[in-house]
Structure 1
Amino acid sequence: MNGRVLRAQITMRCCGTTAPERTAGPCWQLFVVMIGRVDDWPVYTWPTSPQAPTVEERAAELALLGFALAEDAEWEWCESTTPEYHPHPEQVELMAAAQIRPLNGDAA
């Protein structure tokens, strides 16, 4: 690895998502932040549910995407509010991020 810090993020998509597939309601989405177009980032979308994925579920999906948490890394949670343009009243939005590493040892 070239020393570049990779990060994974997980966020609740309160109004569903259109990529990589459309969901009809709230869902959690995990993606690996990389250089380049957002459309090219590795992503996993859990089935529609407001329930946050467990640490074990996040680790399993990260592995399917070819990544694992970096040594001593933990998920760090933060909250904000949904933007004014959302078609519902303002609400709290949760997001978590963690440092990750490729499973094969290569730079992503």
Structure 2
Amino acid sequence: MRTLTAQMSNTGRAWHLYVVLYGETEWPTFRWERTGPVPTGAERRAALAALGYEVAPGAVWSWTEDSRVPDDDSTPVLLIAAVTVRDRDGGVA
């Protein structure tokens, strides 16, 4: 079964979870219409299931931070989470 990367970020208005599909122009995406709190593990699992994916066995979410403007650490922080996922049986991937 193939594995992919799911990422989650906050634009300052909403949380977005998406599955990275290289070579595709549109990626499966889920959106929470809130800035906080961070979606729980259960909410993320449900969103991935709705998109046809599940967290790969043994995978854990990792977090990194970035700057909204590259090389300018005085701008708001952009949090990005990532996890390895796989297609669920009968998924859309």
Partner of 1:7: 5
Letter in 1 for 2:16: Q
Task: Report the identity percentage.
Answer: 37
| 1:63 counterpart SS class | helix
Structure 2 residue 31 is matched with structure 1 residue 33: no
Distance in 2 of aligned mates of 1:100 and 1:107: 13
| Paired letter, 1:54 | T
Gaps of 5+ in 1: 15-25
| Greater percentage in strand | 2
The answer on whether the counterparts of 1:81 and 1:92 sit within 8 Å (CA) in structure 2 is yes
Residue in 2 that maps onto 1:51? 37
Residue 47 of structure 1 deviates from its aligned partner by 1.0
Residue 92 of structure 1: how far off its partner (Å): 1.1
Secondary structure at 1:48 match in 2: coil
TM-score normalised by L of structure 2? 0.85
Structure 1 segments of 4+ aligned residues over 6 angstroms from their partners: none
* Number of equivalenced pairs: 90
